[in-house]
Structure 1
Amino acid sequence: MTRVGRSVLLVVNRRKPDAVGAADRVRELISAHGTLVGETDTEREDAAAAEGAELVVVLGGDGTLLSQARRFADLGVPLLGVNLGKLGFMAEFDLEAFERSAPELLGGGALSVREHRRLTAEVRRGRSVVYSGVGLNDAVVTAGPPFRLIELSLSIAGGPGAKVNGDGLVVSTPTGSTAYNLSAGGPIIEPGVDALAIAAIAAHTLAFRPIVVDGSTPIELRVLRANEANGEGTALVLDGRRVCGLRTGDVVRIGRDEAPVRFVTNPGRDYWATVMDKLHWAAAPRLRDGSEG
């Protein structure tokens, strides 16, 4: 008898006991409604495990889903996150919701999929490109040890560069707008918007405010003064990973990557309701019991 349903790769973050504990139940659901073509853990980085899969189910938290998006993005296979971590902002299903929706998700019905644009980052040193990479959340130039102010020049679409002194700059996608960008005072951008947000980190001025630009806009950050300390110091950070040390005179070029990451969305979940629930956006002030506004 031929099984009808999706071919699924299961990814388990074995550092999370709850993910390991849920794996048996998720395997049962996949076998009941689809076909389990393989299982892997988050310690591996190769994408070969997803060969033949139509869907990748990831057990963990938002960080787990982010790392697996990097791992499998170039394959174009949609990823479905089952949150067994803390926040559960990107991983839209908890175990109960996944169980409820398993027949539709795994049985071959239409999936609700949202495409998330990534950004590219390139570091030029003189005439040489010393680093090139891709991020889903953000590209950050951070001061680093010994934590003195750094100075950057920001050029947008080839225009004259505004200078900023501070602890660095965050350039984020809509996906990353609720991460470091938000902590730096940047705006929340709905995932479907084709845009990039630019926010300074602890700018030594009241005049530098976060901005939003079209997603296709080329952005250039020139390092006018860096912290250079024994191979550490100022650095480019992609999605929370330090990927390249920066020196005075380096140029970081940021643009849009044309290959999106595809995430399965939970039809029973509203984005702005999630922002309010998880991040407490627009939460009313807490008043003393019995008091009046």
Structure 2
Amino acid sequence: MTRFHFTSSDTELARSALGRLMERYGQSPIGASDVVVALGGDGFLLSTLRQNSGRPVYGMNRGTVGFLMNEYHEDDLAERIRAAEETSINPLAMVAQSVEGHEHRALAINEVSMLRAGAQAAKLKVSINGRVRMDELICDGVIVATPVGSTAYNYSAGGPILPIGSDVLALTAIAPFRPRRWRGAILPKSAVVRFDVLEAQKRPAMADADARKVDRVRWVEVRSEPLISHRILFDPGHGMDERLTREQFV
């Protein structure tokens, strides 16, 4: 017998589904459950994954886009989960130092973004594995995205869609001014990416790790975190590889 732990976002649609599913299938404590069923949208699924590293999470869409979610059906839930395809992903680890000298750490499943925080474009120095690759990048921002996150903000900014299991990261500029035609790079998953903010007082920048923000940063380092693994379950034929391929033909 599959032991479920149900959780939901705060929307009326998700909370209503939570009540019906708990009544039908029961509610196990998180520590005694076989699977976590998350009801909401993509943002809520990411939050659930961060809180339940190592435990499989099966999302059902009670939000809007639901790219990472399965369709919502209340019937045969145990059978669906037993037949599900599992994708394992590693998050990005971000370390950001503020202009006051404080260090902030966060994990991101989708992406880490550097964004201008004032009227003027940000001016950044870009280093990969300790080697300066770009002395000066003037832009509205820059994104380091995982394969899972490559279809989100990264894709909207003109970055590539990365296949799951490709062991690469996408580095994508947001509205670059200088170099004007630089559109980014594809980096090995092992790369350590560092951004130093030039003229930080005149051109303030902020860092964002899956919507967790650090204001007025001096520098940011980003790397993949192989010691943490998140497990996502998808209905057969609708796994991450299929979703990433389909997204490129719409």
- Given candidates 125, 128, 136, the residue that maps to 1:153 is 125
Letter in 1 for 2:195: L
Shift of 1:151: 0.5
Structure 1 residues 28-56: Cα deviation after superposition (integer angstroms, max 9, x where no partner): 5534xxxx214xxxxxxxxxxx2222211
Unpaired stretches in structure 1, ≥5 consecutive residues: 39-49, 284-293
What is the Cα-based RMSD across aligned positions, in Å? 2.5
Choose the corresponding residue for 1:99, options 75, 92, 97.
75
- The corresponding residue for 2:196 is 222
> How does 1:24-63 map onto structure 2 within 5 Å?
24-31=19-26, 36-38=27-29, 50-63=30-43
Contact 2:97 2:103 in 1 (8 A): yes
Preserved CA contact (<8 Å) 1:143 1:226: no
CA distance in 2, matches of 1:88, 1:189: 19
Distance 2:152 2:233 in 1: 20
| Larger gyration radius, structure 1 or structure 2 | 1
Q: Is the 8 A contact 2:7 2:18 kept in 1?
A: no
CA deviation vs aligned residue, 1:115-173 (integer Å, no higher than 9, x gap) = 011011112469x661112111111111023x211100111122223021011111111
SS of residue in 1 equivalent to 2:91: strand
Q: Does 1:262 align with 2:231?
A: yes
1:239 aligns with 2:219: no
For these two proteins, the number of residue pairs brought into alignment is 247
Question: Are 2:220 and 1:252 equivalent residues in the alignment?
Answer: yes
Secondary structure at the residue paired with 2:55? coil
- Regions of 4+ moved over 6 Å: none
TM-score (norm 1): 0.76
8 Å contact kept, 2:83–2:236: no
Letter in 2 for 1:215: K
Does 2:5 match 1:6?
no
The 3 A distance-change label for structure 1 pair 270 and 55 is: closer
Kindly indicate whether residue 176 of structure 2 is the aligned counterpart of residue 199 of structure 1. no
Counterpart-to-counterpart distance in 2, 1:78 and 1:113 = 8
Q: Which runs of 5+ in 2 are unaligned?
A: none
Q: Secondary structure at the match of 2:225?
A: strand
Residue in 2 that maps onto 1:181: 154
Q: Residue 212 of structure 1: CA displacement?
A: 0.9
Determine which structure has greater relative contact order: mean sequence separation of CA pairs < 8 Å that are 6+ residues apart, divided by chain length.
Answer: 2
Counting aligned pairs with the same residue, the percent is 26
Partner secondary structure for residue 90 of structure 1? coil
